[in-house]
Amino acid sequence: MAQEVNKNEWPSWEVCIRSKAGLDHKHAGSLHAADAQMAIENARDVYTRRMEGVSIWVVESKYIHASDPDESSSMYDPANDKVYRHPTFYNLPDELTHM
Amino acid sequence: MRIPMNERLLYTLQIADNALILGHRLSEWCGHGPVLEQDIALTNIALDHLGQARSLYQYAAAQFNELPAEQKQPIFSSPALQQNINAGAEIDEDDLAYLRDGWDFKNVLLTEQPNKDWGYTVVRSFFYDTFNYFFYTELQKSSDETLAAIAEKSLKEVTYHMRWSSEWVIRLGDGTEESHKRIQEAVNDRWAFTGELFNMGQVDKAMLANNVGVDLNKIKPFWQESIEAVMNEATLSTPANNWMQEGGKEGRHTEYLGYLLAELQFMQRAYPNMEW
C-alpha cells in the first residue's frame, strides 16, 4: 500500500554542499527530484540561496547503504575502551604547533 | 550627442515594467507550486525579477527627478502619480510601481498573461527568459553605465532562469502524452505574444541611435535559433501563425493587467504611504 502511494512521487535525493573551495562536501539534507539534473537544480534553489555553497553533490537516497541501528552495540561499543587508538601517547616537540 | 532624457527614462521603464509584471505573475505561485522544491525555485526567480525591477525603477526615478518641471508633466498620466508630481514631490521606486495605472506601464503583453497552469507558466517564462538572456547580453555594452551594470548583474540570474524554463519545456514536451499535449497547447496560445518582444518602438530606435539601447532585430535570430533548438529537443512544433499581438510597449494592454495591478497596488492605493 505504501508503495502505491509513492508511485507518482519523484524519488528522494541526498544533498551534500561544499561551503567553500578546499572544504569537504557536507550533508545538507534531502529533497525530491525527477532526475539528477533536476536534483542539482532543486538543491541549488533549496540549499544554496543564502550563499551556503559553491559546489553540490547529489545521490539518490536509495543508493545510500546504512548500518543497522540494531547492531550498533556490536559495531561501535567495542571502540569505547581502546584509548590507545588515539595518537595521544607521543611526546611532541614544543615547536610543533598545528597538531 | 545629447541623449534625450525622456526617452532614456521610458526605455528604463520598459525594462523595469517587464521585470515587475513577470515577477509578480511568478510570485502568484508562492505556496501553490506543484512540489515544494519547485515552489521555492519559482519564488527565487520571482524575487530575481523584482530585484531587477527595483534597480531599474530607482534609476528611472532618479532620471525623472532630474528633469525640468515642464518636461515632467507629460510623461505620466496616472492621476495618483500626477498629484504627487504636481505637489512638487520627488518620486521613488515605489511610486513608479504602485501609483501608475495600466496605460503608463510599458511591459510587453507576454509578461502580463495569466499563469493558467504549470505548462503555460513555463512557456511564458521560456519565451521571455530566452529573450531576456540575449537582451541583457547586448545591454551590457550600453553606453549608459548604469544600464550596463544592471545588465551585467542581471545576466547571471537570467542565465539560470533560461536554463530552468528550457529544461521544463523539454521535460514536459518530451514527457507523457498528456504533458506533451498540454505544453504544445500553451506554446500555440502564447506564440502570438512573442512578436512584440522584438518591436522597435520610437523609444527603442532613439536609444539604439545613442548606443544606449539594444538592437532587437539583431537578437531576434538568436532567440529563434535558441527557441527552436529547445523545442526540437522537447519534440514540440513551432506554430505556423505569424500574426502577432502588440500594444504593451505603447501602454495598450490586455484586460489581465488591470486585475494584476489591482492586486499589486491595492495597499498603497487604499492606504497611501503606508509602510509595513
B29 touches chain A (CB under 8 A): no
Q: Which three cell numbers stand for residue B141?
A: 555594452
Which residues in chain A touch residue B38, judged by CB atoms under 8 angstroms apart?
Answer: 42
Angle between helices B5-27 and B202-209 (to 10 degrees): 120
Could A45 and B44 be called an inter-chain contact, meaning their C-beta atoms sit closer than 8 Å? yes
d(CA B26, CA B20): 10
A72 domain-assigned: no
Separation in Å, CA of A2 to nearest CA in chain B = 19
Tell me which residue range forms the domain holding B224.
5-270
For position B173, what pLDDT does the model report? Answer: 98
Could A42 and B44 be called an inter-chain contact, meaning their C-beta atoms sit closer than 8 Å? no
Spell out the residues 6+ positions from residue A38 whose beta carbon is closer than 8 angstroms to its own.
Answer: A10, B167, B171
- Helix H or strand E segment including A29: strand A25-32
Spell out the residues 6+ positions from residue B217 whose beta carbon is closer than 8 angstroms to its own.
Answer: B198, B200
Tell me which residue range forms the domain holding A52.
2-66
For position B70, what pLDDT does the model report? Answer: 86
Interface A-B, measured as beta-carbon pairs within 8 A, has a size of 27
Could B167 and A38 be called an inter-chain contact, meaning their C-beta atoms sit closer than 8 Å? yes
A51 domain-assigned: yes
Could B37 and A37 be called an inter-chain contact, meaning their C-beta atoms sit closer than 8 Å? no
B276 domain-assigned: no
> Total structural domains in chain B?
1
B35 touches chain A (CB under 8 A): yes
Separation in Å, CA of B40 to nearest CA in chain A = 7
Residue B194 sits in a domain whose CATH number is: 1.20.1260.10
Residue A53 sits in a domain whose CATH number is: 3.10.20.520
Could A46 and B40 be called an inter-chain contact, meaning their C-beta atoms sit closer than 8 Å? yes
B95 domain-assigned: yes
- Sheet-wide strand order for A12-18: A25-32, A12-18, A55-60
> Total structural domains in chain A?
1
B38 touches chain A (CB under 8 A): yes
Residue segments in chain A with a per-residue pLDDT below the cut of 70: 1-6, 99
A35 domain-assigned: yes
Spell out the residues 6+ positions from residue B161 whose beta carbon is closer than 8 angstroms to its own.
Answer: B45, B48, B125, B129, B132, B133
A42 domain-assigned: yes
Could B41 and A42 be called an inter-chain contact, meaning their C-beta atoms sit closer than 8 Å? yes
Percentage of the residues of chain B whose pLDDT score is greater than 90: 91
A32 domain-assigned: yes
Which residues in chain A touch residue B164, judged by CB atoms under 8 angstroms apart?
Answer: 41
DSSP state, B264?
Answer: H
| Contact in structure between B214 and B208 (CB atoms under 8 Å) | yes
Separation in Å, CA of A45 to nearest CA in chain B = 5
pTM of the full structure: 0.90
For position A92, what pLDDT does the model report? Answer: 83
ipTM above threshold 0.85: no
B176 touches chain A (CB under 8 A): no
Spell out the residues 6+ positions from residue B232 whose beta carbon is closer than 8 angstroms to its own.
Answer: none
pLDDT in tens, chain B (276 residues): 456 668 999 999 999 999 999 999 999 999 999 999 999 999 999 999 999 999 999 999 999 999 998 889 889 999 999 999 999 899 999 999 999 999 999 999 999 999 999 999 999 999 999 999 999 999 999 999 999 999 999 999 999 999 999 999 999 999 999 999 999 999 999 999 999 999 999 999 999 999 999 999 999 999 999 999 999 999 999 998 889 999 999 999 999 999 999 999 999 999 998 887
First to last CA, chain B: 44
CA proximity to B150, closest of B162, B160, B141, B159: B141
